[in-house]
Structure 1
Amino acid sequence: MRTTVCCTPGEPALEREEAERMAARLKAVAEPSRLRMLSMLAAADGEICVCDLADAIEVSQPTASHHAKVLVSAGLVEREQRGKWAFYRVVPGALDELGALLRVPATAVVE
């Protein structure tokens, strides 16, 4: 009996380590407050103090710090401590990598 193969599976687009890193980033931005914070940081020309982030997304400063910590752990933002305040900024290139992952090639679109 002969087995017919209908198609040849391709190579995974991402290696396991890269897929795990990108999954952590997607998980981090899957929470609305963190997504709002990230969009504010991306739109900012530089950095934003955690106190301003907390006010903007209408949460307490400890809650904003927690959300920011998740974004830092995911490699999306960087933190700099100045006195008692923490300032955050987007990691250069992090959003470009995330955007590239989410882009679907035109050849993959089925009409």
Structure 2
Amino acid sequence: MTRLDLRGPVRVTIGLHRHVLWAALALVLLAAIALPAGRWYVQSLADDLAATGCKVENSVPGCGIQVRGFLSRSLCVNKVFNYIGLGTGVLPLALGAFVAGPLVGRELESGTYRLGTNSPSTR
């Protein structure tokens, strides 16, 4: 469905917030690319450590530097993964704030919110 197929308020809303929607799409695609790239990087670190003959579980003398380097780089990648996960979790909230903010502001400015708050309702 293209933008031309949409009618009415949906088309106006998408047209109004197209920059935010494009930015959100770019962030999701960036996260989708970064996660497999990070997994490939950690796998290459593990392969490099295995090539030296050292193991993390039972380190032998002379392997301390290699194991420490592997663990520190793995920890950095783990932190990046956590930040990416946090960012993709917060993204819908930020997108909602950018889209709903002007709509709520327009309701408050025109005073139409009083219609919903003052109308009687039964149990």
TM-score by length of 2: 0.32
Higher strand share: 1
Answer with 1 or 2: which has the greater Rg.
Answer: 2
Determine which structure has greater relative contact order: mean sequence separation of CA pairs < 8 Å that are 6+ residues apart, divided by chain length.
2
TM-score normalised by length of structure 1: 0.34
Larger fraction in helix: 2
